[in-house]
Structure 1
Amino acid sequence: MQHFPYFMDNYCPLECACYGRVVQCSDKGVDRVPYGIPYNSRYVLLMNNHIDRIQLDLLSEYRTMEFLALTNNRLTDGAIEGAFEGVPALKRLYLDTNQLRSVPADLPMSLEELRLDNNRVELMSDAAWSHCSGLLILSMSNNSLGNGSTSLPRAVLSPLCKLQTLNLDHNQLTSVPLGLPLSIKELYLKGNWIEEFRNGAFNGRSELVVLDLSKNRLTNKGLLRDSLLNASHLESLNLEGNRLKQIPKHLPVSLKTLNLEDNLVTSVKKRAFGALKSLEHLGLARNKIFKVAVGAFRTLPVLHQLDLGHNALRQVPRQLPVSLHSVALTHNRIQAVPRDAFCWGNATLSQSGLVRVQLQNNLIDLSDIDTQAFRCLRGFQVVHFY
């Protein structure tokens, strides 16, 4: 009887396609890991199948496997218990879109990226992370973390001392987790139920560069004075779609991008952005802004883009920064363009840096407009009334 070539490196299972040390078994309708995947495989792709369990000790012989993708299968907690602990070189493990309720407890020490998005995970403990302290990327969006009444246990992720990217979008967290690893550079918390951001999220100087808190329930009261005190490297802050009634105070001076769109802000005071000298992009669209103090934006010396569309402004804000490249003022109630809106200070002596001014869907009567208000612009092609 001919021996089945299970151990031959050049064998490829009938259900799969093999390209060197890449084994492609995705979209094959299989309900088990195919028999005969070569032991020297580095990348094993099993996405979009019906796999509901991994045979015990099946993966322990795969000493060189670096990437295992099991996205969109039918795996449960019991079905993967003990499956990954004997895979010494595994760096990337994709278990997203399955039926898991907890974080696997036997993750290999070699792991650098773990994706558990679109599962049913409700809880996690620091014991789950103790084996993989070298994890760099953890993505757990679209789960049930927090259950709408709690947040994660304090410092539950502290074993992940090298973590750089954490995605907890679309869970049920009510507050920003406390005691997060200081190494995190990107933190995504979009679409949770967060009402407060307490100090203590980072117990020490954080490396955070990108923070997304959009589509939550934050109020000005919930965004505390020292919430971002330790985030001295933060460059991008997204607060879109919350319940803020005022421009938040005490924001990191390192910010380059600030998104406050789709909130409840009604006015912009003169010193609202006073300390944000590095801000380049500012989004204030879809608020209820009807009043902007004279020179409220002039304290932003490198601001390039400003979006004030879909508000209740009756005139173009005065003394806009001369650094602006584009300003959006569409869908307001603007009737007047003051002479010192675009052209004031240095801009009166030379051409403005503006290349796009959007004034569509307002109440401007072109027959009444003061052309001197645009005297420093490069030409009327910069201004869009319709």
Structure 2
Amino acid sequence: MSSVNQAIAALFAEGQPVPSVHEAAPEPAQTATLSYVFFSDVRKDISDQQKYAFVRELVEFADQNGFEAVYFPERHFAEFGSIFANNALMAAYFAPLTRNIRLRSAAVTNTLHHPAAIVEDWAMVDVLSGGRVDLGFGSGWNKADFILSPDTWEDRSRLRNERIPVIQTLWRGGQVAFKGPHGETFETRVYPRPLQPELNIWYTTTSEAGFKYAGAHGYNVFTMLMNGDLDSLQRQITLYRQARSDAGLVPQDGIVSLLQHAFVHPDLDWVHQVVRAPLLDYIRSNVSSQVRAGHLALDRDGIDKTAEYAYTRYFQQAGVFGSPAQARAQIDRVIRAGVNDVVLLQDFGVDYAAVRETFPHLIPLVNHCHTAAPRSTTLV
């Protein structure tokens, strides 16, 4: 397989039929919530101050219109996503500016930070927000990020898993022994104490093994349609529910959150006009990051070909794009696959004024998610 085809296969499942955006939506599987996630800030024509101001607009819009949560990423040492270098700081800024939404990480790279430091930072946010913090955890994928913690790169997957229970213990007020100078051990309890006695955990994964692990340990899941295939996602969610059941947990209590790029407006031609160039640039930036990290081997032409293919797949199958009716149809598809929280991404380079035009069309989607007809999910 060529490098371009390998890259396309990594982003989207080849050979999968692309449903028409005009098809009737199937009955959704369950009720759900609508949330926001931030990730990219790829625009180079505006200042970082303007980017932060736009994030504030979206967060306050979400807080005032029934959204469930806002998810903040952690990005380091690259222009792509650079305004999100510290998601605890972002959440702390929004704690007094919001009243309703949950403040979530998507995700804290816990392999880069001491567990006690993570709990200290986010316990402060929990107090400042009145108890609205949830934490997602990732293992990290960009090698350059690990200048912050060089010794944890090789074992990052194992360490991510080992550190989550440590963070939970500290959050609950328990003591954990950590090594200090000269090998001396210190029994450590973290202050200030958070308001929430228990921390809600999101496990960031796109793999079948990750879904099983999250289910077995009682974690929620934050995921993306890396291959654009809802059938595969539904299988992963079924395995997740089964893993919860096997662990003695209520299968349906776990939350599966799915990232979906979004731009909703009745004028489909205008949607394409607004979305095409920035979404292509966004995909190119993302693929280029993977190339720099050594995960893909592509030249400029290969990156462009991958982006062109991915754009069509994103628009027709892996995002909430088009008219309100088309958006409802896509949301129903992902809810029917078992998703509990549809997480919209709008900061992928689209003109800010155009994004504001979508606000009135997003509000009905919140109610649509809340009133979707329930349908049971069968365990394997």
Give the TM-score category using the shorter length.
under 0.3
TM-score by length of 2: 0.24
Structure with bigger gyration radius: 1
TM-score by length of 1: 0.24
Q: Whose relative contact order is higher, 1 or 2, with alpha carbons under 8 Å and at least 6 apart?
A: 2
Structure with higher helix content:
2
